[in-house]
Structure 1
Amino acid sequence: MRVLVLTAEARVPDLSAVYQSLPRYLDIDLHVLGKAQQRQLRRYLAGLDLQSYQRILLDLPFKHMVAQATLLARLPGLLIYEEDACQNYLATSKWQGAFSRFYRQLPAARLVVTGASVAQRLRSEGFDALFMAKGYNPHLLFNEQQVRDIELGFIGRTASRDYAGRKALLDSLAALEPLQLLRTEPGAEYRHMLNRIRYFVSADVGLGEYMAKNFEAMACGCVLLAWRQGSEEEAIGLKHDEHLLLYSSLDELREHLARLRREPQLAERLARAGQAFVASQLSHEQLAERLAAVLQEPWPSLPVASRWQRFCSLFKPRRG
């Protein structure tokens, strides 16, 4: 099966390891698009032999896709991989409801989203939505076996209004505990900093799913203290007191910290088990395998058999 993959230049997080692994399972034609190309997909697709592909995997920022629904609706075998669909249900997001409106214009597309509850809500609206948790790149993020000189840390953004719950919790914790709120560049600098942190505080408050930084921290050997998301833990396979410690309030979080300080062997056990879990379940290699399996499944057909040929004819170069 030949698959056209369209992804974004300078994508964050970087999914290059996923696309390096996909050719193990499928015939992949990978195209990495700049911003101008993402905004003008019709022009870009005109240079491709679209009839040679059985599937098209689209992994582009929603803000660049949303205005091109008419074009995308004509692509058969379309799979959209979307890591930000949780914003469809966030009252603080400018994209609240926009994902649903966009997907309604794509009757033959399938969706892969990174939240189990988000997938369930989309399915309840009639969309063909599947859940795959976010993952991490094991070639870039790993345990360096270094001394951890930061007891309690968080690395990431807090300024966006979508992260208001995160910021409030972290600020409250920092007023009571020696929490360090850190920012780094992606890559080696990020890995080195994670390897300095003993207890990583995840505060995905109100987001309804696990951000990639949870799994990245576990991969680097941190003990993860994660905001309890409800159905997400079971869907991913994460178990409290086995792979991580879950909390639903600041008081519960501080109780976990006190316990970890009393029981250093607990911290060692959680760090080892968490690292082993993400390595076996949530690496980008595993994500590639799961995406390949979905791409090989039977696909909904467009209403009219000749529609694809008519669409492709729009891109044939004119002579003379």
Structure 2
Amino acid sequence: MKTLILIKEDTFQIYNDLYIGFHKAIGSVDMRRLDELAESDLRAYFDSHVETEKYDRIVLHLHFEYLTSQLKFLATLPGLVFIDRLTSFDSVESHDQHMKFYKKIPWARVILTSYNLMEKYQAHGLDAWAVPKGYNSSVFNQVTRKRKTDIGLINNRFVKSEKYPHQQQQAQFIKKLIADYPNTVIAEALSESAYVNFLHSIQMLVCPDIGAGEYLHKTFEAMACGVMVMAFDQGETENAAIGLSDLDNIVLFRDYTEFQQKLELLSNHKEFIHKIAQNGQQLVQTKYPYITVGESIATLVAAEMRRPEDFQTGIKIFGFRV
């Protein structure tokens, strides 16, 4: 299968291993890095640089905001697949905008990072699938050193974002955590090397990502570094699909009270911390390095797709013409 994949120029280094895994699994790949100018006028780029008929699949891993005004052109592309990194942290308006866009080209495939979001998209008739975020195995791995801190927290940008609908609940959780456990070390705006050192210095990482609907990069990265993760429970759909099991390879909580109860249990049975961390590390090292994530994406890209001609009625209903 011959595949064209267009990717964001500014994320190539971040996802390099993912693209390697994708290339390895799918075979013939023509990968091109686009700057923002090319992203904003895909018709001109294709007219000058792409022979569309040569490809069985055209995969777009681009900025969504540049795609919305180019729907008419995108609908003409055969075997169209979107890799969409939208997270459940984004606002309701963002979710509605993405879904409205994809519903106008229902024969296209969308690959998300959240199984919860995947089910929502599928319920609206979209060809949507999910592959978890994963981690960069060339950066995040375990080292043999004494961990000097019991509890760590990564204070990400969503906590202070008005677009994040659960901002207040998460901020309150963090406030209580700091008050009750003042030795908690909080990491914010770290360089890559400082972030890795932070993960190597802590025993447990707390991820109070309330309402996220998925597990973020930090979950996989911390597990890969041998850290035991305590995370807000994102639901059975997400847990089962990823392979997460409470008190086996992760510690899950639904509110601050449950978090405290489980932290007390771990404090009284410190051997659990090491065992859960080991199991979590084994899970992510087996299933979620970027290379493996790329291979999983390739499998979804290569699967049989819907045909545009089967949706002619739908096109008329939406008032859209190719």
User: Does the 8 A contact of 1:76 with 1:108 survive in 2?
Assistant: no
- Whether 2:308 is the aligned partner of 1:302: answer yes
**Cross-structure match for 1:166:** 170
**Cross-structure match for 2:62:** 60
**Cross-structure match for 1:37:** 38
**Of the candidates 212, 233, 239, which is equivalent to residue 239 of structure 2?**
233
- Whether 2:247 is the aligned partner of 1:247: answer no
Superposed, which structure 2 residues align to 1:80-229 within 5 Å?
Answer: 80-84=82-86, 86=88, 92-155=91-154, 156-157=156-157, 158-161=159-162, 162=164, 164=167, 165-177=169-181, 178-229=183-234
User: Does the 8 A contact of 2:106 with 2:125 survive in 1?
Assistant: no
Task: Give the aligned CA root-mean-square deviation in angstroms.
Answer: 2.0
CA distance in 2, matches of 1:61, 1:149: 40
User: Does the 8 A contact of 1:135 with 1:282 survive in 2?
Assistant: yes
Q: CA deviation at 1:261?
A: 2.1
Aligned-residue sequence identity (percent) comes to 26
User: Does the 8 A contact of 1:73 with 1:108 survive in 2?
Assistant: no
Could you tell me which amino acid in structure 2 is paired with residue 43 of structure 1? A
User: Does the 8 A contact of 1:76 with 1:301 survive in 2?
Assistant: no
Name the SS of the counterpart of 1:106 in structure 2: coil
* Alignment length (residue pairs): 301
Name the SS of the counterpart of 1:98 in structure 2: helix
**Of the candidates 297, 305, 308, which is equivalent to residue 291 of structure 1?**
297
Q: CA deviation at 1:2?
A: 1.1
**Cross-structure match for 1:8:** 8
CA distance in 1, matches of 2:176, 2:220: 24
Name the SS of the counterpart of 1:287 in structure 2: helix
4+ long deviations beyond 4 Å: none
**Of the candidates 67, 72, 75, which is equivalent to residue 73 of structure 1?**
75
CA distance in 2, matches of 1:23, 1:124: 31
Name the SS of the counterpart of 2:160 in structure 1: coil
| TM-aligned CA distance change 1:167 to 1:36, over 3 Å | farther
CA distance in 1, matches of 2:302, 2:135: 23
Could you tell me which amino acid in structure 1 is paired with residue 5 of structure 2? V
Q: Deviations over 1:50-76 (max 9, x none)?
A: 221111111112222222222212111
CA distance in 2, matches of 1:182, 1:299: 43
**Cross-structure match for 2:313:** none
CA distance in 2, matches of 1:167, 1:216: 23
TM-score of the pair, normalised by structure 2: 0.87
Q: CA deviation at 1:12?
A: 9.1
Q: Deviations over 1:24-43 (max 9, x none)?
A: 22211111222222222222
- Whether 2:283 is the aligned partner of 1:277: answer yes
Name the SS of the counterpart of 2:308 in structure 1: coil
**Cross-structure match for 2:269:** 263
| TM-aligned CA distance change 1:229 to 1:237, over 3 Å | same
- Whether 2:19 is the aligned partner of 1:23: answer no
Q: Deviations over 1:211-260 (max 9, x none)?
A: 12111111111110010111211121100111010001111112222222
| TM-aligned CA distance change 1:201 to 1:76, over 3 Å | same
CA distance in 1, matches of 2:150, 2:196: 16
Q: Which runs of 5+ in 2 are unaligned?
A: 311-322
Could you tell me which amino acid in structure 2 is paired with residue 5 of structure 1? I
Name the SS of the counterpart of 2:309 in structure 1: coil
User: Does the 8 A contact of 1:112 with 1:132 survive in 2?
Assistant: yes
Name the SS of the counterpart of 1:112 in structure 2: strand
Q: CA deviation at 1:121?
A: 0.9
Q: Deviations over 1:87-129 (max 9, x none)?
A: 6xx6x44414111111012132011111111111111111011
Name the SS of the counterpart of 1:79 in structure 2: strand
CA distance in 1, matches of 2:31, 2:193: 25
**Cross-structure match for 2:317:** none
CA distance in 2, matches of 1:12, 1:189: 21
User: Does the 8 A contact of 1:225 with 1:247 survive in 2?
Assistant: yes
Q: Which runs of 5+ in 1 are unaligned?
A: 305-320
CA distance in 1, matches of 2:60, 2:253: 35
